[in-house]
Amino acid sequence: MSDIDPAPAQPEEGLLERTQFFETAEAIEAQPLELRAAGFDQLAEALVAELERSDHETGA
C-alpha cells in the first residue's frame, strides 16, 4: 500500500466513497491476473453510473 492516505470521504460522494473505492481497487488487485480486467471493468461501470446519477441530480 502507498504512503499516501486517501482524503476523507464526504457524505455527498455517493455510494462509491473514496474509502470504498480504494478498498475495492485493493480487492481487485489481489485477484489472479485473469480476473482483474473484469473487476476493473465492473468498477469503471459503477463509477460511470455514479457520475451520471450525480449529473441528473444536479440538473446538469
Domain that holds residue 46: 33-60
Residue 18 lies in a domain: no
Closest CA relative to residue 20, chosen from 43, 37, 1: 43
Residue 12 lies in a domain: no
Q: pLDDT by residue (tens digit) across 3-56?
A: 444 454 455 555 567 788 889 999 999 999 989 999 999 999 988 988 888 777
469503471: which residue's cell?
44
Residue 50 lies in a domain: yes
- On the question of pLDDT at 2 being above 50, the answer is no
For residue 23, the surrounding DSSP H or E stretch is: helix 18-29
